[in-house]
């Protein structure tokens, strides 16, 4: 029969074990974390990216908000890898963390990343190539390949360019040429009437491709483009799932989880090669379709899975 001392020891052990486990878990997520993830805001999409990165990394990663980083003057000394999730976080961390540390920015548009590089063009991080990115927008080659899959007979594809996207005209026309597509376009300035410019452009096209340029596709203009294309019975390819839900017949886009998966692989590749990779478009993507909109235009679409699979095959 156990003596009183043994019983007391057992009670003490049972009492201390949960406390020890808690202390260990807290210590593991702070002191032992060698990767720091800074989300721009506490939005569901940013948090989904961060959780996916955490789940796929082999070593712990600490997640904080940008406001926490700024308010506490967060010390990044012990972190080997720093990841900014979102453009606002990328902007602040670019200049705030030590210049010798590599910075990976993910979940931001390519145009925004290029604007950051221009903003910090004389910064040591830019000059020493200690920054890279994972974009969330899709390459033009992928978007135009989707137009060919959903509308194989389309010869003339129209689009609208803003102050940012018009800088990509050469890349865009080269991508269209590879798909044997005749690309027509209008450039829109902030003071232009988009309806007057876009109505004849859409009317004369076989299909309209919307590109993610904030100066062109703000909420009001996007609605007008959808309305004009529907009235003219011209199919529209969007650039997000929300645009498809609003009436575009299809779009290729990447989910936060897919961006997180790509970013984790990017980090692992960097850790093994000791060299920061060049910025990349999303490796993983999904095609969304709106069969109601397609049926109204008498277009029969392949399934979302089939379209996604075919795009992947083309890129292998």
pLDDT confidence of residue 157: 96
Q: How far apart are the C-alpha atoms of 25 and 28, rounded to whole Å?
A: 5
Query: Would you say residue 125 lies in a domain?
Result: yes
Beta pairing partners, 186: 160
HSE at residue 54, side-chain half, CA atoms within 13 A, is 18
Helix, strand or coil, per DSSP, at residue 180? coil
pLDDT confidence of residue 14: 57
Q: How far apart are the C-alpha atoms of 159 and 146, rounded to whole Å?
A: 15
pTM here? 0.86
- Residues 271-296 have a mean pLDDT of 94
Residues 258 and 206 both lie in one domain:
no
Instruction: Give the pLDDT confidence of 138-153 residue by residue, as tens digits.
Output: 999 999 999 999 999 9
pLDDT of residue 215 exceeding 60: yes
pLDDT confidence of residue 261: 98
Domain that holds residue 167: 140-253+285-315
Instruction: Give the pLDDT confidence of 113-125 residue by residue, as tens digits.
Output: 999 999 999 999 9
Per the structure, the count of domains in the chain is: 2
Q: How far is CA 237 from CA 12, 65, 224, 287, in A?
A: 66, 35, 14, 11
Residues 231 and 266 both lie in one domain:
no
Percent of the chain with pLDDT over 90: 70
Beta strand pairing call for 250-253 and 286-289: antiparallel
Q: What is the DSSP letter of 280?
A: B
Q: How far is CA 102 from CA 80, 121, 137, in A?
A: 8, 16, 23
Look at 110 and 17; give whichever has higher pLDDT: 110
Instruction: Give the pLDDT confidence of 49-72 residue by residue, as tens digits.
Output: 999 999 999 889 999 999 999 999
Helix, strand or coil, per DSSP, at residue 188? coil
Q: What is the DSSP letter of 139?
A: P
The tokens 């997520």 sit on which residue?
Answer: 29
CATH of the domain at 228: 3.40.50.2300
Name the pLDDT band for 235 (thresholds 50, 70, 90).
very high
Asked whether the beta carbons of 283 and 255 are under 8 A apart, the reply is no
pLDDT of residue 312 exceeding 90: yes
């Amino acid at each position: 029969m156990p003596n009183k001392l043994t019983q007391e020891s057992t009670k003490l052990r049972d009492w201390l074990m949960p406390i020890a486990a808690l202390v260990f878990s807290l210590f593991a997520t702070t002191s032992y974390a060698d990767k720091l993830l800074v989300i721009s805001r506490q939005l569901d999409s940013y948090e989904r990216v961060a959780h996916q990165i955490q789940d796929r990394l082999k070593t712990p990663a600490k997640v904080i908000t940008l406001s926490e980083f700024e308010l506490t003057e967060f010390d990044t000394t012990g972190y080997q890898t720093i990841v900014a999730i979102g453009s606002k976080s990328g902007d602040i961390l670019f200049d705030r963390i030590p210049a010798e540390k590599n910075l990976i920015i993910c979940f931001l548009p390519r145009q925004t990343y290029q604007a950051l590089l221009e903003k910090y063009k004389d910064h040591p991080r830019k000059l020493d190539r200690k920054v890279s990115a994972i974009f969330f927008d899709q390459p033009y080659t992928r978007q135009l390949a989707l137009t060919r899959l959903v509308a194989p007979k389309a010869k003339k594809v129209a689009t609208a360019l803003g102050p940012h996207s018009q800088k990509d005209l050469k890349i865009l026309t080269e991508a269209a040429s590879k798909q044997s597509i005749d690309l027509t376009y209008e450039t829109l300035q902030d003071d232009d009437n988009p309806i007057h410019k876009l109505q004849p452009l859409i009317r004369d096209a076989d299909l309209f491709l919307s590109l993610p340029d904030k100066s062109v596709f703000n909420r009001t203009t996007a609605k007008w483009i959808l309305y004009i294309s529907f009235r003219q019975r011209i199919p529209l390819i969007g650039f997000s799932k929300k645009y498809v839900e609003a009436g575009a017949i299809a779009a290729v886009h990447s989910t936060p989880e897919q961006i997180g998966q790509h970013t984790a692989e990017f980090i692992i590749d960097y850790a093994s090669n000791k060299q920061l990779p060049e910025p990349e478009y999303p490796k993983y993507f999904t095609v969304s379709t709106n069969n109601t909109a397609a049926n109204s235009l008498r277009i029969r679409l392949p399934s979302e899975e089939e379209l996604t699979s075919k795009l992947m095959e083309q890129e292998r």
